């Protein structure tokens, strides 16, 4: 192992970048003790030189063009914190790897879209491409999969991978407030972006799940064919009904190895209140791993934020400083399989269905007939108070059936004259 200083360049000095700078500046002696060498920053790049980031950048070379960091001779590791699957981030990472520099990134979109290609470049250049911070912030889930549980076959992963959605659902649960109101609060507190689509539509969680699935099952990261559904349609009625039924609603990220292929899906789900995942609240993330020999492993922690994410970035930097390098996806990129994804229509589950109907005689009979026509057995029924315009909210749950059957039944139900709003369907995840 080299004892020369490990020289970092950081592209993107936002919240996380400033956190990385702070760790390097304030914990230099500890880092030297733990790695046997100094870790120093030599160059940085960001959009605005004048912005106050709470840390001093005066000692570092400034590059207006982040891509120029790839060619600097005083840089061993490029830390990419700009974000985005294309453009400057992709160029910088590609050129840095080609130039023989290690890369540490928190960019889940980049790895989800181009992870296999970048892994091949890293292997050819004999350098490390590390992305611990790309999934679940300060939770060391990638290290756990790649190292601590590497002797195991992974069977299933279930996680809460987006803190914004978990915060919104948790507050709705505690207060009875509706989605739009709580989203506005999350934006005011900085938990949600001005444009929250990336989070609340499930895109962020899908990128993270794509990476975990590729690691667990040695497959090429694949967003094509993944089912991705967010929480926009979850209302206060759903939170209340779930509670009455003994459940909580969470945005789940699920991947399962099946004989016919891999399930890969992000969607809201009802989970039993006593389930460990269901008990995760606010901005916390959690991952539940089901393995062949270590049984199941549950890990929870902060999924985002300056300190948690900067900690994950520096964990990868420390590995490089110690000379502990390994393949990005545990196996050679050329051996990654192209996964056959199981279509969602073949998915088996129980289902929750919320309906707004005219409160007239015979409505329930019409609804149950539609389900029976598609061989679906109704398990429970709740009717909430009649609305002033003689409309009622009806909640139904089904016994286990297929997604295809439920979707077909809902097409018929939507066409009924007694149904006055589009049905809301949520899957029930019992485990």
Where in the sequence numbering do the catalytic residues fall?
208
* CB contact at 8 A, 254 and 372: no
Beta bridge partners of residue 290, listed in sequence order = 156, 296
> 């050129």: which residue's tokens?
95
Burial class (CB in 10 A: 0-12, 13-18, 19+), 314: buried
Pairing of strands 247-258, 154-160: antiparallel
* CB contact at 8 A, 429 and 271: yes
* CB contact at 8 A, 226 and 209: yes
- Residue 387, both tokens: 């609305």
Instruction: Count the Cβ atoms, other than its own, within 10 Å of residue 373.
Output: 12
Q: At what angle do helices 108-125 and 87-98 cross, to 10 degrees?
A: 20
Instruction: Count the Cβ atoms, other than its own, within 10 Å of residue 168.
Output: 29
- Residue 285, both tokens: 């993330």
């Amino acid at each position: 192992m080299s004892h020369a200083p490990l020289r970092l360049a950081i592209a993107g000095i936002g919240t996380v970048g400033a956190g990385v700078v702070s760790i390097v500046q304030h914990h230099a002696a500890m880092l030297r003790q733990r790695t046997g060498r100094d870790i120093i920053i030599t160059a940085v790049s960001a959009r605005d030189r004048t912005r106050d980031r709470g840390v001093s950048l005066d000692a570092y070379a400034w590059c207006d063009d982040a891509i120029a960091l790839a060619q600097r001779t005083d840089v061993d590791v490029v830390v990419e914190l700009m974000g985005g699957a294309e453009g400057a981030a992709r160029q910088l990472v590609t050129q840095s790897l080609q130039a023989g520099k290690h890369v540490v990134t928190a960019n889940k979109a980049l790895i989800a879209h181009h992870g296999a290609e970048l892994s091949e470049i890293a292997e050819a250049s004999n350098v490390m491409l590390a992305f611990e911070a790309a999934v679940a912030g300060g939770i060391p889930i990638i290290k756990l999969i790649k190292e601590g549980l590497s002797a195991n076959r992974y069977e299933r992963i279930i996680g809460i991978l987006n803190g914004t959605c978990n915060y919104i659902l948790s507050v709705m649960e505690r207060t009875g407030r509706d989605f739009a109101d709580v989203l506005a609060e999350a934006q005011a507190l900085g938990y949600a972006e001005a444009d929250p689509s990336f989070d609340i539509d499930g895109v962020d969680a899908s990128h993270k799940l794509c990476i975990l699935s590729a690691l667990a099952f040695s497959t090429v990261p694949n967003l094509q064919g993944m089912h991705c559904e967010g929480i926009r349609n979850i209302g206060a009625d759903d939170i209340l009904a779930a509670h009455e039924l003994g459940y909580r609603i969470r945005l789940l990220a699920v991947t399962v190895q099946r004989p016919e292929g891999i399930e890969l899906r992000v969607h809201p789900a009802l989970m039993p209140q006593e389930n460990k995942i269901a008990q995760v609240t606010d901005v916390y993330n959690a991952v539940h791993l089901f393995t062949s020999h270590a049984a199941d492993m549950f890990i929870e922690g902060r999924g985002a934020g300056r300190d948690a994410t900067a900690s994950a970035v520096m964990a990868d930097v420390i590995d490089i400083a110690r000379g502990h390098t390994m393949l990005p996806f545990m196996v050679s990129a050329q051996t990654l399989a192209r996964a056959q994804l199981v279509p969602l229509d073949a998915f088996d589950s129980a289902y929750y269905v919320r309906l707004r109907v005219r409160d007239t005689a015979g409505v329930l009979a019409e609804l149950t007939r539609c389900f029976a026509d598609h061989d679906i057995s109704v398990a429970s029924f709740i009717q909430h108070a009649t609305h002033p315009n003689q409309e009622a909210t009806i909640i139904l749950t089904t016994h286990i059936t297929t997604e295809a059957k439920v979707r077909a039944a809902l097409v018929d139900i939507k066409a009924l004259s007694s149904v006055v709003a589009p049905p809301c369907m949520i899957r029930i995840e019992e485990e």
